[in-house]
Amino acid sequence: MTDIIAAYDGHKDQHLQVLAINLTDQERMKDVRTFVSELQMPFPVLLDEKGKVRKSYALRGVPTSVFICAACRPRCSSIRAAWCAS
């Protein structure tokens, strides 16, 4: 996550958008709040309370990074941060 925060900080003025989505259906809210607070996340953290996002993207491991291009299509997904060629 620190790589994603650094990328956001370095490219937010170039219109990079980051949304963190916590798989809340698998974690306790107390743990989510602690994680977000400790990392001082500079972008929105959304809650997937019913697992809809997890199921839609077939997410299995945590953490997982999914990069979506401007046309709203997933470009790649990985357990570790990965940068995809456009």
CA distance 13 to 65: 21
Q: Which residue has the higher pLDDT, 66 or 5?
A: 5
* Domains of the chain listed by start with CATH number: 2-78 (3.40.30.10)
C-alpha torsion sign, points 42, 44, 14, 79: positive
pLDDT digits (tens, 9 = 90+) for 53-65: 888 877 776 777 7
pLDDT digits (tens, 9 = 90+) for 12-49: 898 888 888 888 777 788 888 898 999 999 999 888 88
pLDDT for residue 50 is more than 70: yes
**Against a cut of 0.75, is the pTM above it?**
no
